[in-house]
Structure 1
C-alpha cells in the first residue's frame, strides 16, 4: 500500500507544481497568451484556418482570404491538420483561443508526466525521476506555450516516440510512425531535430543496430505527413522564407551557452545541469555523452545545419531537452546513491561562464543560482555516504536518519533556482489582457452587404487583426506569416509606398494609404471614429469602433484597356509608380499593342511642393539642430528626451490634393525610431531586432477632400536621437483616383476550388484584371477552356480577352497537394502492412514456443 502511494505521490506533486507555476506566471486580468505572435499569428490564424476548413469542407484549405488571397499552405505551419484546430471544427461556437490555451497547457503537462514515466522506465527511483522531471518542467523554453507554440507543442509526441523506442529498441515500434507524424503536423520545422533526437536515443539503447529501424521509421513518419509537407515545401520554395539578422554560419559559437542557460529561446535550464555535464566529463561512463552535449550547445554549427542553413540560432536545439535531462538525472541519481562523488572543480568553470552575464538584468539572480548550487553541493558532500571512487572532502554529519533528511533537503534545494528562473522568464512576458483580447477578436455588430468583388480590412489594431478573417465573403490585403509572396510584399511596400509599422516586413499590414486602399479594392474599413480615411463614409460605429465604406475604390476584378509596359513602369521613380498603377495597368512587354502607353505619352501629375507654415509648435522635449546650406537638402538632427508631438500648421489648406511626404532617417542610437504623422505610423526597427525592417525611408500620403482641406500635420516623435534627411513634399490632384477607365464584371456563384467566378461582356479586345496575387497552381477557365494567366501590375493575375461574352472562373490547386495526399495514402498502407506483419511474426513465435 505504501509503495503504491509513493508511485502516485510524485506524479501528483508534479501536477501540483505545474498548476502552481502556471498560476504564478499569469498576471491578474490576463489570458495565457502573449501580445507577441500568439495573438497576431497563432490564435488569429487558428481561427481563420478553422473558418476556411468549415467553409471549404476541407481539412487542408487550398486558399485563404489573407494577403489579397493566398495559397493556404503558406500558413500551414500554424495549424493544418493539428488536433486542436480539428477539435475547433467540432466545436465551432468555442473561440479558438480557448482551445489553443487548453491544448497548449494540456500538452505541456502531458509531456512532463510522460517524461517522469520515461525516467522511471530507465530504472531511476521515484525521487530521482521527480528531480529530473522538475528540471524538465521548469525549463524556460516552455515559456513558448504562451508565445511561439511551435517551439514546444510537439514535446508530448516526442516523449511518446522515445517511450516507443525504449519498449522496442530492436525493431520498428508499431506506433512510432504515428508519433513522428504528429510531430510533423505540430511543428514540421522542428521535426528534423526531433528525428535526430529519436535516432540518438535509439543508438544509446541498441548501438549500431539502430540505423535501419530508425531510418525506416523516420521515412514512414515523414511520408505519412507528405500531404502536408509536400505542398508546404513547394510553397516555401516558391515564396520567400525570411532569414534573420546576425551570424549565420558554421563559425558561430555560443560562448555564454545561451543555447543551454536561462534563455527561453534556448533550452532555458540553470547551472545545475551545466554542473552535471561538467561533472560527467570526469566519469568514464558519462564522459563521451557529456562532451557531445557540450559541443552541441557551444558550437553553433549544429544549430546552423538543423535550421536548414538559415541562421545559427539555439531555438532549434530545444528538442534535445529530454535527452539532456535524462543524462543529467542519471548522474544526479549516481550522486545521490553514492556511486560517484560530488566535486568542486567545475565551479571555477561555471564562474567564467556566468561572468559573461554580468551586465544583464538577471545578473543578481544568476549569482544567486551559483551560490545556491555551491551551497547545495557542499551540503550534499557532508551528508552523502562514502563514494566508491573518492574520499570525503568534508567531515560527515553524524546520525544516519538526520543525515538522510539533510541529503534529501540538499537535493530538493537544487530545484529552487530552476523554479525561480522559470517564473522570472514568465514575468518578462507581455501577456494579453482580457480587454486587449476583446478588442482583437471584436467583430462589428453590423451586417454588411454581399460584395464579393471588394475587400474588408482594418486600421484598428492592424497587427492583432491582420490574420483574422473578419468577413468570410471578402478577402483581406493584410497577412502575417513567415512564408510570404515577395512580389506582393514588394508591391505593397516599395511600389504603393505603404508605411512599415512594426519591426519587420514579414507582417503585411493595412495602413491609411490612399493608393493602397483604392488599388486593392478595400471598400469596407474598420477604424476608430476619429481616423476614418478621406472618401469613406461611416456606416456604423459603437464604442470606439467604426465601419466605413468607399464605393469608389477599384473592384478586385474588372476590364480595362489602358496599359503600359513593364519596361516603362520600371523606369519610373518614387511616387510615380504608385501613380502609374492608379492610372494604368502594367503588362509584359511582349503583350503590348498599339494602344499600350509609351514613354513619350507618359506624364506625371506629381508636383514638388514647398510648404509654408503659419505656425510651428515644438515642445521643449524636442531639440532641433539644422545643417545644410539650401532648403532642399537641409538636415534636422533631433534629440527627443521623451515621446513628443510637433504640430505644423499650413498657411494655405490643401484641398483636393494628395500630399506626399518622404524623408530619410539616420538613427544615432540602437533604439527604434517611430514617427507618426496624422495617425500614420512609420518605424525603423532597433539594432537588436530579430528581423530588422531596414525602413530608413519614411513615406506618408495624406488626402483631405473636405471643405476645410488639410490644415495641420501632427508629428508624434519617439524618444531618441536621430537625423531626418532629404525631406521631400509633393502634391498630386485627388482626381487621379478616377483617372483609370474600367468596366465591371458580373459575379457568378463559385465552388470550393474556385477563387473567383464572373461573366464579362467585352465590346473589344481588352484585359481582364484582378488584384489577386499570382501564384503557382492558379489558372483560369474561360468559357470552360483552361487558359494561361499573365502576371500583370507586377504581382497579380490577369488575362487578355477577345470580343464577346465570356464566363471566367479563376481556379487554384496548390502544387503538390494531390501528389502529397497520394504519397500519404500509400505510406498509410505500408504502415498497416508492417503492423500486420509484426503481429503475425509475434503470433508465430508464441505458437513455436508452445
Structure 2
C-alpha cells in the first residue's frame, strides 16, 4: 500500500511537470511562429472570410439584438445562414457581442489560442484516463500540440476550434457522463457543424469499443444513453443546423474539384503526414501504426486508421460525398495518436520491439520520390527516427537491470530522455509551415487606409471599422519583418459617420474599389447595401448573373468570391450609386462627392435604384436566344421578365473595335514574353511575368470597351492576366475549387485615359484565342424607362422587412428589385401576398397594376422557425433526461 501511494504521488508530480512543459512549449511555439507587428492570422482565409465575416455578423447581431441575423446585406442581400459557418451562435461571437470594444481581430486569436491550449491539456487528461503512463500521455500530447493541422488556428479556424469539445466529449464518454457529453457535442456543432459527422464518427469509434466489453444488459443501457445523448445534442443545435441545411440545399456550395476513382483508390500520404490540410502528423505516427499491425490488441484499429487515412473513400464518406479531401480527417488526430501511444508504451515496457522492416519499406518508397521538393525533409525525418530506434535497441541490448528495475520498467517503461529527439521534426515542420504563411499585419497610426477610415478610431470603437472599411495593412514577411506602405494623415481618413451621411441611402448600394478581396465581406456601417460577398455558400442565380451575364472578372481561384470591379453594366443594374475608392480608380460616370487626400466618395446619380417599376421589358425566352454581347446591351436597355406574351423588342449590337495582332510591330512586349501565332489566336510563352501593350486608336471617342479572349492553359500552373489593372485568373490543375475561367472578360477605356490595352501576363505557356474588343453603348442606360420606388420610414417596416417602399406604375408592368431571388422571400403589395417572379435572370420582382401601391418585401430563413422549436423541445427533453439520470444514479448509490 505504501509503495502504491508513493507511486501515485510520483505519477501526480510527473503529470504536473509534464503539463508545465506542454504549456511552456506551447508558449514558445506560438511566439516563434507569430511575427512581430502582425495579428495571429493569415492574409488568406482568416482575414478575407473568417474574421471579417465574424465582425460583420457581430455588428448586425448587436444592431438587431439577435444571435442569428436572418438577413445580411452582402451579395445584393442574402439569407444570413449563408454565413452561418462563420460564426452563428459561436461562443467567440457571443463573447464579442458582450465586449463590443474588443475588435474581432483580437478576440478571435485569443479564443483560438485558448482553445488550442485547452485541447492539448485535455488530450493529456484523456490519454491518462485511457491508461497511458504520465510520460506516454505527455508524449502523445506533445505530438498533438505539434500536429500540422493546428496551422489552421491562424488560417481556417473552424477546422480545429471544435477540438477541445471533441476531447471533452471523449472524456465524458469514458466517464459515462452522457448529459455532459451531449452538451459537448452541441458545442462542436456550434463551433463547426462541417465536422459534425467526423466528430460523431470518432465518438462512435470509442463507443463501439466500450460496447464490446459489456454484457447484454450493459450494452442496452450504454446504447440507449449514448444514442439519446447524440440525438438530444443534434436537437439542441437544430436552431443552427436546420436553417443552415436548408440554405445549403438551396444555394451553391464552393465548386469543388470533381472526385475521380483515382482519388478514392490511390493512396495519398498527405492525408496523414505533414500537410496542414490533413492530420499533419509525422513519420513516427505512420511507423507506429504500421508496427501496430503486429500488436494483437490494436491490430484492427491500426489497420482501419491506415486504410482510412491513406485512401480517399473514408474522406469521401465523411465529407458527405462532396469530395475526398483529407481535411475532414482532422478530428481523428486524437484517435491516431492514442493508438500510436499504445504501441509506443508497449515498446517502452518491453512488451513489443522496434522493427526495422517498416523503415526499409519507407526507404524504398521514398527512393521513387527523390525528385520531389519535400524529399530532403522526409528523408531527415526518417533518419532521425532510424537513429533513435537504433540507439534504443542498443541501449536495451546492453542494459543490465536488477530485478527491481526490470519490474519498474515493465510498469512504467524505459527512460524518457532517449525519445526527445522524436519531437525535432514535428517541431521544425510546424515552424516551416508557419514561415510560409502570409501573416496579417496590425495597422498603426501611419498605416495607409484604402478606404480612409480613421485607424485610431477603429481600434477603440465597438465596431472595429478596420475590418469594416478595409484597411491597407502592414503585412508581415516570412522573417517577421514589416513591409512599408504609403502613409496618410488622419485628415485624409473618413469616419463611419461621414460614410453613413454620404452613402446611407438604403435605396442604393455602396461598395469599395480598393482592396476588394479583403473588403468584400465588410460593412462600412449598419444599413449599408453591398453587392459583394465571399462565402462558401453562394446564391447560384446571383453567381450566374455576376460572372456569366454581366461578365465580371474572376479574380481568384474560385467563383464564390464575388469581388467588386469597375463594370458600368453591373453598377447600373445593382444600384451602385456610391463608390469608396482612390481618385485614380474612379469609374466613368462617377463624380466626387467628398475627398480626403487620395481617397474619395464618388457618386453616380444615373444608376438604377434597388427597387423600381417599369413596363420596358424583354421576355426571358428572347433574352436566352441572344449571344453574350447582345445580352449585355439588352440588360442595359430592358428588364428581363418571365412572360411569354412579352412582345419581341429590338436589341442593339456592340460595335467591334479593330485591334492589331499580338505579334504586330506596334504591339510592344517585355523581352521575357514570346508570342507565336496559332489557329484563331496566339501562344504566349513567358519565362516570367511581363507586360504586353496593345495600342488603341488615338481618335477613339471616350467610352467603355468590352475586351475578351479565350484562354487554353498548357501547364499545371494558374494563368493570371490583368488588363489595365482589371485581373482575371484561370486556376491551376491542383486548385481544390477550380474556377474553370476559360474566357477572360474586361470592361476598359474609362474617361479616355487609356492609350493602350496593357496586359500584365503571368509566367507560363498558354493560348489566347478569339480575341475581340467591342464598344459598349452606355447611352442605352439613359433610354431605360423606370420609375423609382420611395422608401417608407423605417418605423413602418415589419420586423422581417428587407425592403418597404411606395411605388407608382404609369401602366401595368413589373415591380423590379436587384435583390437576389431566394427561398424565404415573401412580397406583400398593398398588404396582400403577391407571387414573386424572377427578373433580370436572378432577382425578385412581381407583376403590378397601374397606380400607386405600398410594397413590403419580407424574408424569413427557411427552417429557422422549426429549428428554434426543435431546439426548445430538445432542451426541455434534455433537462428531463439529465434530471432522471441523476436521480436514478443517486438512488443506486
> What's 1:736 paired with?
780
- TM-score, normalisation: structure 2: 0.88
> What's 1:433 paired with?
441
**Using a 3 Å threshold, how does the CA distance of structure 1 residues 820 and 173 change in structure 2: closer, same or farther?**
same
Q: Give unmatched runs, 5+ long, in structure 1.
A: 385-393
**Using a 3 Å threshold, how does the CA distance of structure 1 residues 738 and 370 change in structure 2: closer, same or farther?**
same
1:193-232 → structure 2 map (5 Å cutoff): 193-207=198-212, 209=219, 210-232=222-244
Instruction: Say if 2:787 and 2:809, in contact at 8 Å, map to a contact too.
Output: no
Instruction: Say if 1:565 and 1:589, in contact at 8 Å, map to a contact too.
Output: yes
C-alpha separation between the residues in 2 aligned to 1:6 and 1:430?
A: 39
Aligned residue for 1:414, secondary structure, equals helix
Which one of 493, 496, 499 corresponds to residue 547 of structure 2?
493
Which one of 669, 692, 700 corresponds to residue 646 of structure 1?
692
User: Is 2:69 the counterpart of 1:56?
Assistant: no
Which one of 831, 843, 849 corresponds to residue 890 of structure 2?
843
Instruction: Say if 2:238 and 2:871, in contact at 8 Å, map to a contact too.
Output: yes
Which one of 250, 254, 257 corresponds to residue 245 of structure 1?
257
> What's 2:478 paired with?
none
User: Is 2:724 the counterpart of 1:724?
Assistant: no
C-alpha separation between the residues in 2 aligned to 1:685 and 1:105?
A: 33
Q: Give how far 1:395 is off.
A: 3.7
Instruction: Say if 2:707 and 2:745, in contact at 8 Å, map to a contact too.
Output: yes
User: Is 2:419 the counterpart of 1:411?
Assistant: yes
Instruction: Say if 2:591 and 2:602, in contact at 8 Å, map to a contact too.
Output: yes
Instruction: Say if 2:578 and 2:602, in contact at 8 Å, map to a contact too.
Output: yes
Q: What does the per-residue CA deviation read over 1:102-126, in whole Å, with 9 as the maximum and x for residues that have no partner?
A: 1111111000000111111223222
> What's 1:794 paired with?
841
Q: Give how far 1:751 is off.
A: 3.9
Instruction: Say if 2:349 and 2:414, in contact at 8 Å, map to a contact too.
Output: no
Which one of 837, 862, 868 corresponds to residue 815 of structure 1?
862
**Using a 3 Å threshold, how does the CA distance of structure 1 residues 62 and 334 change in structure 2: closer, same or farther?**
same
Instruction: Say if 2:178 and 2:226, in contact at 8 Å, map to a contact too.
Output: no
Q: What does the per-residue CA deviation read over 1:678-707, in whole Å, with 9 as the maximum and x for residues that have no partner?
A: 111111111211111111111111243x4x
C-alpha separation between the residues in 1 aligned to 2:536 and 2:448?
A: 23
C-alpha separation between the residues in 2 aligned to 1:266 and 1:486?
A: 29
Q: Give how far 1:456 is off.
A: 1.1
Q: Give how far 1:182 is off.
A: 0.7
Instruction: Say if 2:285 and 2:337, in contact at 8 Å, map to a contact too.
Output: yes
Which one of 594, 603, 607 corresponds to residue 651 of structure 2?
603
Aligned residue for 1:9, secondary structure, equals helix
C-alpha separation between the residues in 2 aligned to 1:249 and 1:467?
A: 37
User: Is 2:507 the counterpart of 1:453?
Assistant: yes
C-alpha separation between the residues in 1 aligned to 2:610 and 2:375?
A: 56
User: Is 2:178 the counterpart of 1:173?
Assistant: yes
Which one of 172, 188, 192 corresponds to residue 187 of structure 1?
192
> What's 1:98 paired with?
106
> What's 2:81 paired with?
73
> What's 1:622 paired with?
673
C-alpha separation between the residues in 2 aligned to 1:89 and 1:637?
A: 55
Which one of 765, 770, 774 corresponds to residue 821 of structure 2?
774
C-alpha separation between the residues in 1 aligned to 2:607 and 2:665?
A: 34
Aligned residue for 1:654, secondary structure, equals coil
**Using a 3 Å threshold, how does the CA distance of structure 1 residues 93 and 315 change in structure 2: closer, same or farther?**
same
C-alpha separation between the residues in 1 aligned to 2:210 and 2:538?
A: 43
Which one of 683, 686, 692 corresponds to residue 729 of structure 2?
683
C-alpha separation between the residues in 1 aligned to 2:854 and 2:71?
A: 21
1:244-643 → structure 2 map (5 Å cutoff): 244-249=256-261, 252-253=264-265, 255-355=267-367, 357-384=369-396, 394-396=397-399, 407-435=415-443, 441=467, 443=469, 444-445=494-495, 446-447=498-499, 448-449=501-502, 450-542=504-596, 544-590=598-644, 592=645, 596-598=646-648, 601-611=649-659, 615-627=666-678, 633=680, 635-643=681-689
Q: Give how far 1:540 is off.
A: 3.7
**Using a 3 Å threshold, how does the CA distance of structure 1 residues 147 and 709 change in structure 2: closer, same or farther?**
closer
C-alpha separation between the residues in 1 aligned to 2:824 and 2:744?
A: 36
Q: What does the per-residue CA deviation read over 1:396-450, in whole Å, with 9 as the maximum and x for residues that have no partner?
A: 4789999999942222222222112211221222222235997673634333333
Aligned residue for 1:80, secondary structure, equals coil
Q: Give how far 1:143 is off.
A: 0.7
Q: Give how far 1:348 is off.
A: 1.6
- TM-score, normalisation: structure 1: 0.93
C-alpha separation between the residues in 2 aligned to 1:482 and 1:473?
A: 23
> What's 1:390 paired with?
none
Q: What does the per-residue CA deviation read over 1:761-800, in whole Å, with 9 as the maximum and x for residues that have no partner?
A: 3332221110000101101121222222111111101112
Instruction: Say if 1:254 and 1:297, in contact at 8 Å, map to a contact too.
Output: no
Greater mean alpha carbon deviation, residues 406-415 or residues 465-474: 406-415
Q: Give how far 1:284 is off.
A: 1.3
Q: Give how far 1:3 is off.
A: 5.9
Q: What does the per-residue CA deviation read over 1:167-222, in whole Å, with 9 as the maximum and x for residues that have no partner?
A: 01xxx612111111111111111101101101111222332725433322211111
Q: Give how far 1:379 is off.
A: 1.5
Instruction: Say if 1:249 and 1:312, in contact at 8 Å, map to a contact too.
Output: no
Greater mean alpha carbon deviation, residues 22-31 or residues 795-804: 22-31
Aligned residue for 1:101, secondary structure, equals helix
**Using a 3 Å threshold, how does the CA distance of structure 1 residues 490 and 442 change in structure 2: closer, same or farther?**
closer
> What's 1:803 paired with?
850
Q: Give how far 1:645 is off.
A: 2.0
Aligned residue for 2:557, secondary structure, equals coil
Instruction: Say if 2:272 and 2:278, in contact at 8 Å, map to a contact too.
Output: yes
C-alpha separation between the residues in 2 aligned to 1:350 and 1:8?
A: 37
Greater mean alpha carbon deviation, residues 731-740 or residues 54-63: 731-740
**Using a 3 Å threshold, how does the CA distance of structure 1 residues 341 and 627 change in structure 2: closer, same or farther?**
closer
Instruction: Say if 2:674 and 2:686, in contact at 8 Å, map to a contact too.
Output: yes
**Using a 3 Å threshold, how does the CA distance of structure 1 residues 356 and 132 change in structure 2: closer, same or farther?**
farther
C-alpha separation between the residues in 2 aligned to 1:44 and 1:751?
A: 28
C-alpha separation between the residues in 2 aligned to 1:683 and 1:654?
A: 29
> What's 2:50 paired with?
42
Q: What does the per-residue CA deviation read over 1:582-637, in whole Å, with 9 as the maximum and x for residues that have no partner?
A: 111111124x4xxx340xx3131412221469953322222222245xxxx4x122
Q: What does the per-residue CA deviation read over 1:745-773, in whole Å, with 9 as the maximum and x for residues that have no partner?
A: 11112244110010113332221110000
Aligned residue for 1:638, secondary structure, equals strand
> What's 1:388 paired with?
none
> What's 2:168 paired with?
160
C-alpha separation between the residues in 2 aligned to 1:614 and 1:606?
A: 28
Aligned residue for 1:415, secondary structure, equals helix
C-alpha separation between the residues in 1 aligned to 2:859 and 2:759?
A: 44
Aligned residue for 1:190, secondary structure, equals helix
Q: What does the per-residue CA deviation read over 1:700-755, in whole Å, with 9 as the maximum and x for residues that have no partner?
A: 11243x4x565332221222222211111112333122121111111112244110
User: Is 2:138 the counterpart of 1:133?
Assistant: no
Aligned residue for 1:252, secondary structure, equals helix
Aligned residue for 1:309, secondary structure, equals coil
Instruction: Say if 1:514 and 1:703, in contact at 8 Å, map to a contact too.
Output: no
C-alpha separation between the residues in 1 aligned to 2:835 and 2:209?
A: 56
**Using a 3 Å threshold, how does the CA distance of structure 1 residues 376 and 129 change in structure 2: closer, same or farther?**
same
C-alpha separation between the residues in 2 aligned to 1:430 and 1:78?
A: 21
Q: Give how far 1:243 is off.
A: 4.2
C-alpha separation between the residues in 1 aligned to 2:567 and 2:98?
A: 40
Instruction: Say if 2:268 and 2:311, in contact at 8 Å, map to a contact too.
Output: no
Instruction: Say if 2:565 and 2:726, in contact at 8 Å, map to a contact too.
Output: yes
Which one of 695, 705, 720 corresponds to residue 741 of structure 2?
695
Over aligned residue pairs, what C-alpha RMSD do you find?
2.3
